[in-house]
Amino acid sequence: MKLGYKVLLVDIVGVVALYFVLSDLSWRSSYAMAPHDRCGGLCSYVPSFSFSFLTRFFTMTGNGLPLTSPPNLDWVQVLSVLLILANGWYLYSLLQARRTPQPKSG
């Protein structure tokens, strides 16, 4: 399989994975903002994310009580780094192939 097709396959899989990761983050945020049954539908939380390199913290603040998750691996950053590395490797290989002299036939 040619390198161009391989990197295209990596890009397609990476973008689809990013779509599902971002959909999951959206679902978590909307769930946190929805009224909950425990307080009779009167309380809801305000979700927020804080980021560090390759990690993420999910915080929900409501009723004066902040709830913070332990540090999680941030899949958006991981997948973005993998896509950058794959495309960078493809570009490097392409430039190396153009620099090497082609044998003359004849």
78-99 confidence digits (pLDDT tens):
999 999 999 999 999 888 888 8
Helix pair 75-99, 3-33: axis angle to 10 deg: 160
* Whole-number pLDDT of residue 12: 93
- Alpha helix stretches (DSSP H) within the chain: 3-33, 75-99
For residue 15, what pLDDT is reported? 93
Q: What residues contact residue 76 under an 8 Å CB cut-off, 6+ apart?
A: 18, 21, 22, 25
Q: Are 56 and 70 in contact (CB under 8 A)?
A: no
Contact 50, 69 (CB under 8 A): no
pTM: 0.71
Q: What is the pLDDT of residue 88?
A: 93
